[in-house]
Structure 1
Amino acid sequence: MTFTLHGQAVSRGVAIGRAVLAAASRVDVAHYFIAPQQVADELGRLRRARDTVVEEIERLRQGLAHDGVEAHAELAALLEVHLMLLQDEHLQDGVKQWVLERHYNAEWALTAQLEVVARQFDEMEDPYLRERRADLEQVVERLLRALRGESSPLAAAAPAAGAGGEPLVLVAHDLSPADMLHFKHGVFAGFVTDVGGRTSHTAIVARSLEIPAVVGVRNASQLIQQDDLVIVDGDAGVVIVDPSPMMLAEYGYKQRQGEVEREKLTRIKNTPAVTLDGQRIELLANIELPEDTLPALAVGAVGVGLFRTEFLFMGRGGKLPDEEEQYDAYRRAVEGMHGLPVTIRTVDVGADKPLEAHRRDDHLNPALGLRAIRWSLAEPAMFLTQLRAILRAAAHGKVNVLIPMVAHLSEVRQVHALLAKAREQLDRRGAVYGPVRVGAMIEVPAAALAVRLFLRHFDFISIGTNDLIQYALAIDRVDESVAHLYDPLHPAVLRLVADTIAAAQEAGKPVSVCGEMAGDVTLTRLLLGLGLRSFSMHPTQILPVKQQVLRSDTRKLRAWAQQVVASDEPALLLAD
């Protein structure tokens, strides 16, 4: 019987194949108390399990390096995140404390500390950072399996899955980057998972490997049976089980068309992004780790429009990264772009994130609390450390500094004062540093409405549409009960975006969009018509957006774009 499941479309394309169900990965955990004289042995078990998992991940990383495939850069970066979590002092010290003080067995101590740290991840506002809870759970699960001497259930499934010639679709509750590496040679045509979002590790890996995927399909692993014929529509976020012959024919045609389109896209990698009327468009990449510069360059990005620095600050149990560690990461990103500009956003976390050794429960609404630039200004020593590291990295190439969540002129003045102080400190040390341009991230409605004020104090602006939409519509985009109201085409949102772009043009200052709107090909023509000439997005979105750019004539789009913005129902005009 044919039925359809709905989830989030995270990696474009169509996959048709037989379902392979991954066994439920949750490990049963025994809970018991140990005798005081067993504490040392139990801690030894934990150390050996950690060493085993570290060795496993290191072997996987080495295998990726030998492959020499640029698309695996994001997989390697995610494995690096897992290694960082394995070494996380907050996780390690917490587990030791459960064993030493409560006399929990090793497995119980691991799961107890997992709950403590996981609650901190749940409080995060940024969806990308919130999704890192899944990475933490997978690290703990690998440790639990190592304690029991077991391997991943997917490792055993991989050889069997590759035995036949028919395309296969993997259906699982969730997948770790290490699990997905078992299939990096193309065994699976698509992925379906019960959980996850656009910023989940599964989504990131699927996009990097250009494999159609739908995540967050709730009970897919229970509803789909082994060997069911499945269609994965990565464009619409739809999974069709046991499709009719007519559906198979329709999606088979769509699949072939998609393959032709992807082949065409590879041909425009080195084509300058210039519209039909001669407007040169800047297509930049959003990256999370220094290693992400590889996939950015592979698709022809002309720079990095947003380098998120949060990875340096997360999961450290209150121990902040020092100047040298930050400088090394920023330098690697700058050098990795070979002279192309890199825009480094200062840390966009705060009191709602697990940066402190102890939880802070006094923030009733973290999204509106001490976060982003507010947190940085409240911790000037930390902020100065980051600014010095960025300035030093600027000696190695073109660097821009992007300040998140600016809303007040007083914040602007403090930022410039601290930048001056950072330069003075470097001068006193005789340290080498380079020039930077300073920009504001327009993501608070107040900043969009007062953008002309901020343009007088910054060299450029970047519109962070994800938070701008969320704050303008009072919608938590990761809350399933209201997520359907999150609408980039709401008239108020379009007016804020249009006015911000127009104000920057009037001031003669560069403006870019670095949120999801920048990588949405259905919005490319609208943004071009509004005057946008700089887009920053996930590397996998660059070529589809470039294709739209090459087909567009901005002279013909201007009047139409203004009509869309002025319309009561913009979505209807956009569909015409």
Structure 2
Amino acid sequence: MLETEIVVKVSEGLHARPATQFAKLAKEFSCSLQIFRGTTSADAKSAVKLMLLGIKQDDQILLRADGSDESVALNRLLAFLSEPSAGVQPAKPAQAQEASAPLDGSPTGSAEPVAPGAVQPVRGVPASEGLACGEAFVYLPEALRATRQFIEPHEVATELDRFGVAFAGSIAALDQQFKTMGCHEDIVEALADVAQSDEFSGAVKQRIASGWDAAAATLQVGEELAASFLAMDDEYLRSRADDIHGITRQVALRLLGMEDVSLACLSRPCVVLAADLSALDFARAQVANIVGLVCTKGSATSHLAIMARSHGIPAVLGLPVDEAVLRGATRVALDGAQGQVWLDPSPDVEAGFATRIAQEKSRHAALSVYRDVEPVTRDGRHVEIAANLGSLGEIDAAREAGAMGVGLFRTELLFMDRRTMPDEDEQAAIYTQLAQAFHPRPVVIRTLDVGGDKPVPGIVFPEEDNPFLGWRGVRMCLDRPDVFMPQLRAVLRAATLGNVQVMIPMIDDVDEVRRVKTLIATCAEALTREGIAWGQPKLGIMVETPAAALTADLLAQEVDFFSIGTNDLTQYVMAVDRMNPDLASLYRTDHPAVLRAIGMVCEAARNAGIPVAVCGEAAARPEMIPLLIGLGVSELSMSPSSVLRAKKIVCEL
């Protein structure tokens, strides 16, 4: 028997893919192989058990080998653990990169009519303006239940065969799904390895052999295994419970003779009705066939609302109705600006919507003349109208709308909902492509703004009662230079084009700005030593906390520009949770308190000779544009779908 201690250097530790590759390597040897982390241990040939150990980069572990080929095995496995890139394939080129999705099984939906719904409008939260009327596509998860729990002894062989067929079909479908999504083959391999492990398929077979129905055994084992991952401290490994749930669901659906309906299945224009949709649900949808969106959860400033506005999809969120009512709807009409929804509208309501939608299309077509207009108010004030983007896929829509650059590029969407953080090279390629697309117009890249409510792989966030007031934005970045500095280096590399600007979120204090400046200088010096070209981007901050607004005169001496984030500023000034639809009436950017805060920021910027932008959603609201410009705002940044109208409004002021 041989054993040795080693400090693990695999990037981010033995998560799904490295664990799978490590176990695959271990299986090449006949000797027994065990890994010890503290007082716990696992069979090195089981990827699931390795993941459940939660081994992170720089953890010290003990590796034990016992058998005829123990020496060779130990050397090979130690070499694997010493290599930072072990088990991780090179990333795709930036333009082809797609965030991978957890195998969530595309929750069961129903487009079948159940019963007539309400004929009177129901008011929810206006999330994305516009009108829609059409067939309902109900996308609501249905809990799976086995029709029985136990079987007779003579049924065991049949149930084992049924499970085998369902399992094989699910693995084949998994492979096809990820090929369609353009994901890495190693992701499929990692998920398939989890599914085929003793902890999942082996445990299901054992339970069937002991007298359980195949579907009941699958659902129970899947729930238990997912709970094991949820109990872990590491956020990335906790999120692997989604993969377990997805695998479990796919197998159970086949055993129960059921099928899931996915937004990817939309074959004709529909209004989607749901409880909630994740960014991944939306990303996998046939967006062109979503003419409207209604959810019982969410707010006007949720990521879903932002994505709906970006695609010009009318949306009402936080609709106060039971899911049973949604399930009964066959047709839907909605007014996204007013937050009104008609479930199964009358013929008169539908006729009225048809007329209004036709009029809206005519008005939008008329706005196209503003595409290349440089908006100027009647008294000669030039106002920049830029776009808020979250991905390279939105570039075309922004350019087609005549956006005068990018006022906010949300880099957190590059980090979220994927299995590894984007490295410096990948980020530099993305920021460069963005800058090239709008050159010479300015492109403002906001540094990573994530918190406990938006986990990313490789960052363990503390449990917080209110993550919006917690360890997020610049607070997290300054504590994690290993995350922050690669992003700053990537921005500096893209800044060689001359139109890249960098913006820091969640600033409270002048000292935070100075610390960021020091890190930027450090990155620039390192790039120079390495012979890598870089440029000096303008530095700005998000003004979104009351502290930043109240000390704007001090902050203005340290930066090149301000950008007011009205979403959070309104939330903090009004002490209103913007995600709570019940408080929507109190969430008012036009409240005198919020307007006074914006006025203070504009006055401080004017005295310092720096520009002020607004990149919150208020920038696109017709009634807010005159107020913001009157207070001294010189740039408005918004979803691409609102750019043309904003240009028209400015020209008419």
Do the two structures share a fold, i.e. TM-score over 0.5?
yes
- Name the amino acid aligned to 1:472: V
More helix as a share of residues = 1
**Aligned-partner Cα distance in 1 for 2:437–2:604:** 33
TM-superposed CA distance for 1:455, in Å, is 0.7
TM-superposed CA distance for 1:168, in Å, is 6.2
Q: Does 1:384 align with 2:492?
A: no
TM-superposed CA distance for 1:551, in Å, is 1.0
TM-superposed CA distance for 1:359, in Å, is 5.3
Q: Does 1:57 align with 2:181?
A: yes
TM-superposed CA distance for 1:112, in Å, is 6.6
TM-superposed CA distance for 1:506, in Å, is 1.8
Write the deviation string for residues 141-163 of structure 1: whole angstroms up to 9, x where unpaired.
Answer: 5984488567653689856xx5x
**Aligned-partner Cα distance in 2 for 1:420–1:218:** 51
- Name the amino acid aligned to 2:377: T
Q: Where does residue 568 of structure 1 map in the other structure?
A: none
Q: Secondary structure at the match of 1:9?
A: strand
Q: Map of 1:309-320 to 2, 5 A cutoff? A: 309-316=411-418, 319-320=420-421
TM-superposed CA distance for 1:284, in Å, is 0.8
Which of residues 316, 337, 341 in structure 2 aligns to 1:239? 341
Q: Which stretch of the first structure deviates more once superposed, 211-220 or 487-496? A: 211-220
Q: Does 1:495 align with 2:581?
A: no
Q: Does 1:28 align with 2:130?
A: no
**Aligned-partner Cα distance in 1 for 2:508–2:632:** 24
TM-superposed CA distance for 1:245, in Å, is 6.8
- Name the amino acid aligned to 1:439: G
Q: Does 1:2 align with 2:119?
A: yes
Whether the 8 Å CA contact 2:125–2:299 is kept in 1: the answer is: yes
Q: Which stretch of the first structure deviates more once superposed, 479-488 or 169-178? A: 169-178
Whether the 8 Å CA contact 1:114–1:137 is kept in 2: the answer is: yes
Q: Map of 1:115-126 to 2, 5 A cutoff? A: none
Which of residues 390, 399, 408 in structure 2 aligns to 1:306? 408
**Aligned-partner Cα distance in 2 for 1:384–1:358:** 15
Which of residues 482, 505, 514 in structure 2 aligns to 1:404? 505
TM-superposed CA distance for 1:417, in Å, is 1.0
TM-superposed CA distance for 1:390, in Å, is 0.6
- Name the amino acid aligned to 2:407: G
In structure 2, relative to structure 1, the CA distance for the partners of 1:86 and 1:24 (3 Å cut) is farther
Q: Which stretch of the first structure deviates more once superposed, 419-428 or 99-108? A: 99-108
In structure 2, relative to structure 1, the CA distance for the partners of 1:229 and 1:307 (3 Å cut) is closer
TM-superposed CA distance for 1:263, in Å, is 1.5
- Name the amino acid aligned to 1:336: A
Q: Where does residue 13 of structure 1 map in the other structure?
A: 130
Q: Does 1:273 align with 2:390?
A: no
TM-superposed CA distance for 1:180, in Å, is 4.1
Q: Where does residue 363 of structure 2 map in the other structure?
A: 261
Q: Where does residue 467 of structure 1 map in the other structure?
A: 568
**Aligned-partner Cα distance in 1 for 2:321–2:231:** 23
**Aligned-partner Cα distance in 2 for 1:299–1:496:** 31
TM-superposed CA distance for 1:52, in Å, is 1.9
Whether the 8 Å CA contact 1:53–1:146 is kept in 2: the answer is: no
TM-superposed CA distance for 1:255, in Å, is 3.0
- Name the amino acid aligned to 1:264: A
TM-superposed CA distance for 1:394, in Å, is 0.9
Q: Where does residue 261 of structure 2 map in the other structure?
A: 153
Write the deviation string for residues 249-302 of structure 1: whole angstroms up to 9, x where unpaired.
Answer: 654543333222111112221222122222211001111112222211110011
Q: Where does residue 399 of structure 2 map in the other structure?
A: 297
**Aligned-partner Cα distance in 2 for 1:259–1:457:** 46
In structure 2, relative to structure 1, the CA distance for the partners of 1:507 and 1:89 (3 Å cut) is farther
**Aligned-partner Cα distance in 2 for 1:214–1:20:** 14
TM-superposed CA distance for 1:526, in Å, is 1.0
Q: Which stretch of the first structure deviates more once superposed, 288-297 or 446-455? A: 288-297
TM-superposed CA distance for 1:222, in Å, is 3.0
TM-superposed CA distance for 1:449, in Å, is 0.8
Q: How big is the alpha-carbon RMSD for the aligned residues of Structure 1 and Structure 2?
A: 4.3
Identity %: 35
Whether the 8 Å CA contact 1:12–1:234 is kept in 2: the answer is: yes
Q: Where does residue 438 of structure 1 map in the other structure?
A: 539
**Aligned-partner Cα distance in 2 for 1:412–1:328:** 26
Q: Where does residue 469 of structure 2 map in the other structure?
A: 368
Whether the 8 Å CA contact 1:405–1:441 is kept in 2: the answer is: yes
TM-superposed CA distance for 1:519, in Å, is 1.4
Q: Which has the larger radius of gyration?
A: 2
Whether the 8 Å CA contact 2:301–2:617 is kept in 1: the answer is: no
In structure 2, relative to structure 1, the CA distance for the partners of 1:429 and 1:363 (3 Å cut) is same
In structure 2, relative to structure 1, the CA distance for the partners of 1:419 and 1:21 (3 Å cut) is closer
Structure 1 residue runs without a partner (length 5+): 59-82, 124-132, 553-576
In structure 2, relative to structure 1, the CA distance for the partners of 1:142 and 1:220 (3 Å cut) is farther
TM-superposed CA distance for 1:413, in Å, is 1.6
- Name the amino acid aligned to 1:278: G
**Aligned-partner Cα distance in 2 for 1:198–1:119:** 32
TM-superposed CA distance for 1:119, in Å, is 11
Q: Where does residue 549 of structure 1 map in the other structure?
A: 650
Q: Map of 1:121-200 to 2, 5 A cutoff? A: 144-145=249-250, 148=253, 152-153=260-261, 169-173=271-275, 176-177=281-282, 180-181=285-286, 184=288, 189-198=291-300
Whether the 8 Å CA contact 2:431–2:494 is kept in 1: the answer is: yes
TM-superposed CA distance for 1:26, in Å, is 3.6
TM-score of the superposition, structure 2-length normalised? 0.66
Whether the 8 Å CA contact 2:416–2:457 is kept in 1: the answer is: no
Q: Where does residue 71 of structure 1 map in the other structure?
A: none
Q: Secondary structure at the match of 1:326?
A: helix
**Aligned-partner Cα distance in 2 for 1:464–1:447:** 11
Q: Where does residue 514 of structure 1 map in the other structure?
A: 615
Q: Does 1:330 align with 2:330?
A: no
**Aligned-partner Cα distance in 2 for 1:88–1:308:** 28
**Aligned-partner Cα distance in 1 for 2:263–2:557:** 57
**Aligned-partner Cα distance in 2 for 1:14–1:234:** 6
More relative contact order, 1 or 2 (CA 8 Å, 6+ apart): 1
TM-superposed CA distance for 1:439, in Å, is 0.7
Q: Secondary structure at the match of 2:559?
A: coil
TM-score of the superposition, structure 1-length normalised? 0.74
Q: Which stretch of the first structure deviates more once superposed, 353-362 or 537-546? A: 353-362
**Aligned-partner Cα distance in 2 for 1:466–1:388:** 28
Q: Where does residue 528 of structure 1 map in the other structure?
A: 629
TM-superposed CA distance for 1:237, in Å, is 1.3
Whether the 8 Å CA contact 1:197–1:215 is kept in 2: the answer is: yes
